[in-house]
Amino acid sequence: MARHTMGLKPGDVLAGRYRIAAQLGKGGMSSVFLADDLKLKGKRWAVKETYVGDGSAFGEEEAETAKRRHILLAEAETMSRLSHPNLPDIVDYVPLTRQGFLYLVMDYIEGETLLQRFERQGKRMTEKQAAELALQLCDLLDYLHSIRPEPIIHRDLKPSNLMLDAGGQLRLIDFGTARSFKPDRKADTVCIGTVGFAAPEQLEGRQSDPRTDLYGLGALMYFLLSGGAYYSTRSLPGEGTALPPGIAPFVLRLLRASPEDRYASAREAGAVLRRWLAAQRMPAASAAAGGAAWTPPLVVAVGALYPGAGATFAALALARLLHDQGVPHALIEPPTPRAELHALLLADKHAPPGYRCYNAPGGGSGHPAEHPWTDGHTLWLPAEPVEEAGSPMEDPSYWFKLFHAVRRPVLIADIGAQWEQPAVQQLLDTATDVVYTVDPFVHKLELPAVSRVQRQLQSWIGPGRRLHCIVNKCPRTAKAEAWLRLLPQRPACLLPALDIAVLAAAEWNGRLPHDAPPVRRALRDAMQPWLNRLLPVEARPSGNGSGKLLRLFQRSH
């Protein structure tokens, strides 16, 4: 096996394109390297190198080599046909070399493994943190298990196989144990998995099915919530008390020895988790509220990674979709010299009689109940352009007070590129979600201000805070995919490049461009899947959820 040491090293160039920069990790017969792309300047990839033998083995060693080759080829084939936000993309495959190595080139995920995060936090994780991570995995497993004609069973969920990227999103990075589920088989071809996370049917050589991954999810949650302990089906009664009592019933059902006693599917388990998380967001109100339940608003700050990337356009698109779904919300603009929302809404023409912007000089009260400007389920709160010293813009709390005065389930803040404004920085302390927009002009990513914004966003990320990237004016070209890979994180949605003639005609006719039917349809098709993930389950359009969410707010206020 000495030849196994003759793999890649820093400075080597793979396939004439990928220059190895450093080794990221090593285990078993595989190593993972960080590589610079010599064709796409500034782009970096993760290269997985696996040793499968150079043809010189005989007997049992030759059979083992053939098995390793089969597993790696199966992994490459499996990952190359999958597409999901919680999976890395395979972008290249380098076949078997004379030295006996195979290579997969995939997305480089800047972040850390879940195991590294867990250990860095002192082997502590709250119920809510573990549940939110598990919910991401339920959505991913539902995708894998829904593939037809043969669902994909992963069979090895564990902290070292999961990466947390810059936005706090999980990525499942190793598919070496995955297999297609064939219901006609009574047993798996191989007994495989990690002790401590593998289901009983795996360790006993029986057939694994989608419920096998549910056991793995339960074992992962047990590990995270018990301080790093491993669950065993031979555990004595009462050992489940290592779990926090609130979420213990959910985890222990996933860990039942018989697959029939677990949840029927990842979708069912995810629905249970969503209900549990929704209940945690409704703590008991103060005595002043009469004991009513209270649901904090979803505060979404929408900004541009650099000027001109379309933050206001994206904020308006989000507002129009929420309106269409019957979700009450407010769109608020900070006071700045540009005041783009004020201009796009043609406020001087369309605002109701007696309307005054909250920052209007000479008596703007700042309270949205005074001559409110509503449009269906939308409350517009544009700012009047600020040009003179002594304006409310110089008091960061002035704009921030609006977020305490408005009583709507969803609050959208259109912050443009004003990331360094004191009012914006104060707002970010209470935001649940930050959206940043980009456009196809790649050179703007190299601006010094972009690096500052990215550092600010990285420091903002934490428990209960989500970061989203929205691509604006996304072209439908063959080169678009290469451009998307240069972005700081995988986009949450791609807003298409729209017909400029349609946009201009809407404005010429005194209408908001988003209200033009072809524009509205295109934005809805692009943004709806992301919006479904963004909204809490109570506010989603399946049924009367948004009405229920509004009633919770009305009772508490």
Q: What is the DSSP string of 221-233?
A: HHHHHTTSPPP-T
Position 531, amino acid: L
> Do 177 and 193 touch, CB atoms closer than 8 A?
yes
Q: What are phi and psi of 346, to 5 degrees?
A: 50, 55
Per-residue HEC secondary structure of 390-426 comes to CCHHHCHHHHHCHHHHCCCCEEEEEEECCCCCHHHHH
* Rounded CA separation 197/213 (Å): 10
382 preceded by a cis bond (ω within 30 of 0): no
The two tokens of residue 68 are 């390793």
* Rounded CA separation 430/425 (Å): 10
Three-state DSSP class for residue 335: coil
Domain ranges of the chain: 2-107, 112-280, 307-556
Three-state DSSP class for residue 138: helix
Residue 557: the pLDDT is: 41
The two tokens of residue 448 are 């010094």
Position 97, amino acid: T
Which helix or strand (DSSP H or E) is residue 26 part of? strand 18-27
Residue 285: the pLDDT is: 34
Three-state DSSP class for residue 189: coil
* Rounded CA separation 416/301 (Å): 9
The two tokens of residue 444 are 């703007």
The CATH architecture assigned to 2-107 reads 2-Layer Sandwich (3.30)
> Do 434 and 301 touch, CB atoms closer than 8 A?
yes
* Rounded CA separation 474/309 (Å): 11
Tens digit of pLDDT at every position of the chain (557 positions): 444 557 899 999 999 999 999 998 876 677 889 999 999 888 999 998 888 776 555 455 566 666 666 666 666 666 667 778 888 888 888 887 888 888 889 888 888 899 999 999 899 899 999 999 999 999 999 988 888 777 888 888 999 889 998 778 899 887 655 554 445 444 444 446 577 888 998 888 788 889 999 999 999 999 999 999 999 766 544 455 578 888 998 999 999 999 999 998 998 898 888 888 877 765 433 333 444 444 567 889 999 999 989 999 999 999 999 998 888 999 998 877 667 888 888 888 888 887 888 777 654 444 554 568 888 889 998 888 766 544 444 454 566 666 667 778 899 999 999 888 777 877 887 788 999 999 988 888 888 889 889 888 887 876 567 889 999 998 888 777 888 888 888 899 999 988 888 888 888 888 888 888 889 999 999 999 899 888 865 445 544 444 444 444 444 34
Residue 34: the pLDDT is: 94
Q: What are phi and psi of 391, to 5 degrees?
A: -75, 165
* Rounded CA separation 430/448 (Å): 27
* Rounded CA separation 85/171 (Å): 8
Edge-to-edge strand order for the sheet containing 410-416? 373-375, 378-381, 329-332, 410-416, 298-304, 433-438, 466-474, 493-496
Residue 370: the pLDDT is: 59
* CATH topology for the 307-556 domain: Rossmann fold (3.40.50)
| 48 is an annotated ligand-binding site residue | yes
**90 forms bridges with which residues in the sheet?**
106
Three-state DSSP class for residue 22: strand
CATH number of the structural domain 112-280: 1.10.510.10
